[in-house]
Homo-oligomer: A and B are copies of this chain.
Amino acid sequence: MKDKIVLILSGGMDSFTLLHRALNQNYEVDCLTFDYGQRHIKEIECARLACHENHLPSLQIKIANVESIFAASALTSDSIEMPHGSYQAESMQSTIVPNRNMLFISHAIAYAISKNIKQVWYGAHAGDHFIYPDCRPEFLSAMNAVAQICHTFPISVEAPFLNYSKAEIVKIGLDLGIDYSKTWTCYEGQDLACGKCGSCNERLEAFALNNIADPLTYQD
């Protein structure tokens, strides 16, 4: 029997690659996608399409009261300007959505318990560590410690790409034949990717390091 996992699928490149690798490794995957008032709502459509094309059980969860609980983030608030440039910049702090990953993982653990699934996966990777506390190895380790004892049986939380760069993730995806035009990365909520925000910058760099063009169409 295949192992079952719950995967937090955003519709971005990392979780999309993780999904395809899990399917390639014969895991049975249930996907959870979160609507948390993100400007880049297009990623949800990418997640929905990925589940549909792969005939996967999926659930879209709408986080309530996001205007109160995620007040401080440029990703959810139109009143905070989206920073442009590199992820190494201090200005990227405004793209932190407070405690987002614990919130997502909490839902995923509850869902997993209800389905008798023992593993929750999410797409944190090495490029996230500098800005996002809830993508760091120590966060994953602490989440795992609490997930082991939050119910009558232990749940494990995995981030298989935790120590991979974005470029390494793209390489894995390209080797699997993934079509990255079916993912969404840009933090701005526009029809075409801006090519300027930290997220676009990181994506473009990952393709450049693989010496291959990003199949996505950009504004410029």
Interface residues of A (CB under 8 A from B): 59, 61-65, 68-72, 93, 96, 98-103, 105-107, 109-111, 113-115, 133-134, 136, 138-139, 142-143, 145-146, 148-152
Contacts and interface: CB of A to CB of B under 8 A. Distances in A.
Contacts of A114: 68-72, 98
Contact of A113 (B72, B113, B139): B72
Contact of A65 (B59, B65, B70, B145): B59
B149 A146 contact: no
Contact of A109 (B59, B62, B102): B102
- SS class of chain A's interface: helix, strand, loop or mixed? helix
A28 to B, nearest CB: 17
A83 to B, nearest CB: 16
Contact of A99 (B63, B109, B138, B143): B109
A80 B136 CA distance: 40
